[in-house]
Each structure stands twice: as structure tokens, then as C-alpha cells.
Amino acid sequence: MQQQDKITVENINHPGKSRAVDRAMYDAMKQAYLEILPDSVPGLTLTEVSARLVRKLPQALYPRGAKAGWWAKTVQLDLEAKGLVRREKTSPIRLYKD
């Protein structure tokens, strides 16, 4: 895979560390996240996010939701690290766009 097919992601839980992942998979998940998350609190629980994400993902990349769980968490943590998504400190946690 060529370098332009990769994107560097961060993890809010591990500041300063990053890794390269498949750009197409990342972009599709990021777009789905930004479409489903509300702009303000209370946000959506992770269960609600998972259910809504699967319906927004392209079947060519995520057939029947395959690998969506790993990618959802990876993109969530990256978007949090970049300040595009916030986590409400509740139990269960809730996510919303910043």
C-alpha cells in the first residue's frame, strides 16, 4: 500500500503516539461519525453510536459491518484527540461533536 493510502491517527488515551492506518476505511468511518453525532450534549452512548454507524458505512468497505467495531474505536479516539468529538463524563459515556 502506498503512503498516500494511509492516514496518521492519534489516540487521546496515549498523547504523542500515532500510527498510520488505511485512509479509505478511516475516511468512511469519520464521515459516518460526523453525520450521526449531535452537536451538543447529551450526545449518544457508544451503543447508540455503534447502531447508527453501521447503517452509514459503505458496504464495499464494511460488508455487513465487518471490522466496524475496531475502526469505530480507532476513529473515535482520533477525533477526540483532534478536538472534533467530545466525551461527556457520564456513565455510560456519551459522544457529541465539538
ω before 42 within 30° of 0 (cis)? yes
Along the 98 residues of the chain, how does pLDDT read in single tens digits?
456 799 999 999 999 999 999 999 999 999 999 999 999 999 999 999 999 999 999 999 999 999 999 999 999 999 999 999 999 989 999 999 98
Cα 81 from Cα 60, distance rounded (Å): 28
Q: Using an 8 Å Cβ cutoff, are 57 and 32 in contact?
A: yes
DSSP string, 55-82: HHS-TTTSGGGTTHHHHHHHHHHHHHHT
Q: Using an 8 Å Cβ cutoff, are 50 and 72 in contact?
A: yes
